[in-house]
Structure 1
Amino acid sequence: MEPSEAIFSFYLGKIAIDIKPEAIVELVIVLLILALAWWSTRNMQIRPTKKQTIVEWIYNMINNAVVSNIGESFISIVPFVGALGIFVLVMNLTGLVGISPPTKNFSVTLTLALMSFIVVQGYAIKKNGVGGYFKGYLEPVSFILPITILERVMLPISLSLRLFGNMLAATFIIELVYESLEKVAWFAQLVIPIPLHLYFDIFDGGIQAVIFVMLTMINIKIVSEHS
């Protein structure tokens, strides 16, 4: 598996910015999700239509996941959790349409993890104030400050590596199977890889999206309460 090459590049001062296929795929996914969200939430009614029923079911599912796992006091993070989960899930599923998942690129997963890290720390500051947030680094005893800092810093590292490693391995296995089947017969590629796509794209991709979101939610709760 070779690293993707930049489609085009530009410079910010002396820094070269490479635009790779993953960035284009992410942009398309964002636009599609925004368009679908706009279309599905138009003309909301008291008596829901089939479209509105599906939207409300998705919202209730995300809302219940937040409430049941970290409590009703964190219900304000539902929009972020929903958007993050849907975005990661769709990226993980792009292999079903023959597009390499952007999440097999470490820069993508690291960016997502840094977003989660910022939200976790920002929510704790919003809930406890700046003073209460930094005081949390010294509790229950001040000498554990280095351990607490390391614990906070490890969040984006662990989140990004977990998602990146699983998606890279899944993509590598599927590509290896296709390359092997190509040497046997072209029609072998039409049927044999289907179970692999069901597992690696749908099951594993879905599980990784859930894990990413769940760890983000749990850390929001832990850090805000610890602070």
Structure 2
Amino acid sequence: MELSPDQTIFWQNGFITINLTLVTTWGIMLLLIISAVLLTRKLKTDIHISRWQCFLEMIVTGINEQIKEVGLNKPEEYIGFIGTLFLFIGFSNICIIFPGYTPPTASLSTTTALALCVFLAVPFYGISKHGIFGYLKSFLQPTWIMLPFNIIGEVSRTLALAVRLFGNIMSGGMIIAILLTISPFIFPVLMKALGLLTGTVQAYIFSILATVYIAAAVRNANENTKTKIKITK
């Protein structure tokens, strides 16, 4: 039994390897891009819109509301990144209904890449809002003694994001594989249905955590700016 799609290798030359994880990841990204182009090419502002446009607006509205609830007042600035994370992870996990499919999120390399995207996005949004010095000052709060602990926290939560998503997805796949060998067909079908729910929940959790981390960076920068203004006054 293969524990990771990384073990299925299609081509290899030295350190360059094309495996199932890479092929599936790029395939899903291409499918999402094509779907986005097809769904947005004939958008209407009339009362009567297509069902696909209605479905798309429901997704965008839902993501915007979740971003607002976390604390980011201008969701349009963040939905491109956070929405993409949610759709990619969600679609990757939902496709487990197809026989023989292994989600790329069952590979630690994929979840690590997603976590690194969040790791880089946090300082990007923090610096873009309040400058590099305003963002770096947040690591000295509430006192400079906390600097190493704040740095460790940044790294550890990135690692936690990667391992959490990888562990949850891989464990579900392993349970289904084990049940296929020791139980009747009906039990794996039920586990597939449960996997759909779990995959959607994991996509939601990952995107919400990314939003929380970004909101914390922006909020810390805001608080530092307000404190500086008060001291100046």
> In the alignment, which residue of structure 2 is the partner of 1:198?
193
C-alpha displacement at 1:74, in angstroms? 4.4
Alignment of 1:67-146 (within 5 A): 67-98=68-99, 99-146=101-148
Contact 1:66 1:75 in 2 (8 A): no
Q: SS at 1:44's partner residue?
A: coil
C-alpha displacement at 1:219, in angstroms? 0.4
- Give the distance between the partners of 1:157 and 1:58, measured in 2 at CA: 28
From 1, 13, 26, the counterpart of 1:10: 13
- Give the distance between the partners of 2:121 and 2:40, measured in 1 at CA: 26
Spell out, residue by residue over 1:207-226, the C-alpha distance to the aligned partner (whole angstroms, 9 max, x if none).
11111001000000112222
Is 1:56 aligned with 2:50?
Answer: no
C-alpha displacement at 1:51, in angstroms? 2.2
TM-score (norm 2): 0.88
Judged with a 3 Å threshold, the aligned counterparts in structure 2 of structure 1 residues 136 and 192 are, in CA distance, closer, same or farther, namely closer
Contact 1:95 1:101 in 2 (8 A): yes
Gaps of 5+ in 2: 222-233
Spell out, residue by residue over 1:178-227, the C-alpha distance to the aligned partner (whole angstroms, 9 max, x if none).
1224xxxxxx42x332211111x211111111110010000001122223
Spell out, residue by residue over 1:51-99, the C-alpha distance to the aligned partner (whole angstroms, 9 max, x if none).
2211111111111111122231344101211111000011112321020
- Give the distance between the partners of 1:133 and 1:68, measured in 2 at CA: 23
- Give the distance between the partners of 1:86 and 1:177, measured in 2 at CA: 29
> In the alignment, which residue of structure 2 is the partner of 1:22?
21
- Give the distance between the partners of 1:193 and 1:134, measured in 2 at CA: 50
Contact 1:109 1:164 in 2 (8 A): yes
Amino acid across the alignment from 2:26: L
Give RMSD over aligned pairs. 1.4
C-alpha displacement at 1:155, in angstroms? 2.1
> In the alignment, which residue of structure 2 is the partner of 1:159?
161
Aligned residues: 215
- Give the distance between the partners of 2:218 and 2:165, measured in 1 at CA: 24
Is 1:221 aligned with 2:215?
Answer: yes
- Give the distance between the partners of 2:8 and 2:40, measured in 1 at CA: 38
Q: SS at 1:193's partner residue?
A: helix
Contact 1:26 1:102 in 2 (8 A): yes
C-alpha displacement at 1:133, in angstroms? 1.4
